[in-house]
Chain A
């Protein structure tokens, strides 16, 4: 780990390399070393990415051979009320999830970064959801929220006894909550690591100047965490496009399409209704939204972010 600290600036090193690259055959390792990784990546990510665009212009049931369909699938997709509803839901779901998860994760992370023993102990427990598969979480909450035999019976409460997953008005919020249960721990870990990197001297100076806890949080912690906030937000927003498995197990998109967000709409259209063409068009929309979100947030965080030396820990 000592290697990651006290490093020469990366910028100077690459410039130095570039200047002597013109010479001899000692240009470093050969391209062959990257070939296996590139081959896997091309075969199962890049080519499929192109393939999904092509397939969105095809009529294909998943079994026979795909037939050219021109713009028909796109017209069908954009006119489909189910898909349009799924787009709206995806937007609502992403927004509500973010508004719920981000502050909870941030506050928990800041809290966990404290030095007290019991907080270290809590951190161990907070982490547990990360080892659960989405299928395990989905099944557990389905059982826990059962209106007859679940939590409601433990407390004999009418509030808890609502048909959480069966009521179209409630199901989306239940999904948001369960997703938070799974993902808040990861994001609080990021924030915990971020807070621990803030120099102690900043807080000491502020305390001497008479700043209270809230003032220190607003004036030191938040600004110092800006890169963590951007990283975590990127993961949350782009990630909300991929909460497929959890929702699939928890509600299957129901009741009545109330939790059918785009990835689910794609799966159900393709693998249940056997319309791979329309499903591919939905997939293209997903990729476009994902890339747009990713790029926008990356722009915010500064283009050089990926080259950061900080990531070594």
Chain B
């Protein structure tokens, strides 16, 4: 055992931080269940006297499902493309013997240091020019581009670990590179793909800047931006705003409950040690 005596200072700090994390989350949930009228009277941290789902009903009646659908569409499309193109690129940079491969990897990894929002003005210009402003494509395409560097970083680290002999033996059997990719590289990189998929899904799902700048109408609004608009719309109805917050967190929370281990190991692996 690493620690024989209880670590009192660590323990106290740990529980204190837990309080810092939990109080806001608890506040969101109890407030969203409070009737609007009680919001101004009851203690904000008390259990609601007359709990109600009115706030949730109000939010669901106000296009919430459409925003949810938009978020799902954008996330699924972006993540699927990110995984496909990053896996192919990773296979190339790891296994190709050409000098170009090393340059390609360096170029892509450069992207990790580019602050995303610094390029938003030209991206906006580009999206307007190609006529995709205010469409879901305007969110999907740049999200793919910005997902690629970290994905390639994680996946190349996995593909590198596939023993060279496996590739050799497939070559000897006459398999082409396009055959090796789905039959050898894909299955063996599955843990990395899972990790990248979950991480990128979180990034795209929670993205705020692209929707803010590249879309306008409610028809293509995604969840994070919808919270902002609910806040304007229901400015005097705090329980409704916080019900929207709760609803927006639930899908990803459900995903977290299912894939917690993968997500945690993925997040830690993704950034190296």
Question: Are A151 and B44 in contact, CB atoms less than 8 angstroms apart?
Answer: yes
Which residues of chain A are near B145, meaning CB under 8 Å? 40-41, 43-45
- From B14, which residue of chain A is reached at the shortest CB distance? A111
- B92, B121, B124: the one contacting A30 at CB < 8 Å is B92
**Cα separation A290 to B2 with both chains bound (whole Å):** 39
A-B contact pairs, 28 of them (CB 8 A): A3-B161, A7-B161, A13-B164, A28-B92, A30-B177, A33-B89, A36-B89, A38-B89, A41-B145, A44-B119, A45-B145, A45-B146, A55-B122, A111-B14, A125-B21, A125-B22, A133-B206, A133-B227, A133-B248, A143-B241, A149-B44, A181-B20, A193-B265, A231-B272, A248-B208, A283-B117, A287-B114, A312-B157
Chain B residues with CB below 8 A from A150, complex form? 44
Residues of A contacting B126 with CB < 8 Å?
Answer: 43-44, 47-48, 51
B contact set with A: CB distance below 8 Å: 1-5, 7, 10-11, 13-15, 17-18, 20-25, 27-28, 31, 39-40, 43-46, 81, 84-86, 88-89, 91-93, 95-98, 100-101, 104, 107-109, 111-126, 141-142, 144-146, 148-149, 152-154, 157-158, 160-164, 171, 177, 180-181, 188, 191-192, 202, 205-206, 208-209, 212-213, 223-225, 227-228, 231, 238, 241-242, 245, 248-249, 252-253, 256, 260, 264-265, 267-273
Check B95–A249 contact: CB distance below 8 A: no
Distance to closest chain B CB from A5 (angstroms)? 9
Q: Which of the 9-residue segments A73-81, A91-99, A161-169, A263-271 touches chain B?
A: A263-271
Least CB distance, A220 to chain B, in whole angstroms: 10
Question: Within the complex, what minimum Cβ distance (angstroms) separates B230 from chain A?
Answer: 9
The answer on a CB contact under 8 Å between A279 and B121 is yes
Q: Which of A33, A47, A263, A270 contacts B115 (CB 8 A)?
A: A263
For B120, what are the chain A residues with a Cβ–Cβ distance below 8 Å? 267, 283
Which residue of the partner chain A has the closest CB to B145?
Answer: A44
In the assembled complex, which residues on chain A have CB atoms less than 8 Å from the CB atom of B202? 130-131
Determine the distance from Cα of A291 to Cα of B206 in the docked complex, in whole angstroms.
25
The answer to whether the Cβ of A157 comes within 8 Å of any Cβ in the partner chain is no
B16 to chain A, nearest CB (A): 10
Please give the distance in Å from B81's CB to the nearest CB on chain A: 8
B115 touches A143 (CB 8 A): no
Cα distance A151–B23 when bound, in Å? 10
Which residues of B are found within 8 Å of A124, using beta-carbon distances? Answer: 260
Contacts of A27 in B (CB 8 A): 96-98
**Bound complex: CA A59 to CA B146 (Å):** 27
A33 near B17: Cβ-Cβ < 8 Å = no
One of A41, A193, A232 near B148 (C-beta < 8 A): A41
Q: Which residue of A lies closest to B252 (CB)?
A: A131
Report the tally of A-B residue pairs with Cβ distances under 8 A: 343
B125 touches A51 (CB 8 A): yes
1/0 per position for A295-313, CB-CB distance to B under 8 A?
A: 1000000000110111111
Expressed in whole angstroms, the Cα–Cα distance for A165 and B133 within the complex equals 34
Q: Is A211 an interface residue (CB 8 A)?
A: no
Residues of A within 8 A of B228 (CB): 135, 139, 249
Chain B residues with CB under 8 Å of A132's CB are 206, 249
Given the known A-B contacts A28-B98, A40-B144, are A52 and B119 also in contact in the complex, defined by CB atoms under 8 Å?
yes
Given contacts A40-B81, A310-B273, could you give 17 more A-B pairs where the C-beta distance is less than 8 Å? A7-B161, A20-B97, A27-B96, A40-B144, A45-B146, A51-B121, A114-B10, A122-B15, A128-B253, A129-B21, A133-B224, A134-B208, A181-B21, A228-B273, A266-B121, A311-B153, A311-B154
| Chain B residue at minimum C-beta to C-beta distance from A145 | B24
Q: For residue B177, which residue of chain A has the nearest CB? A: A29
* Contact status of A44 and B113, CB under 8 A, knowing A119-B14, A190-B271, A310-B272: no
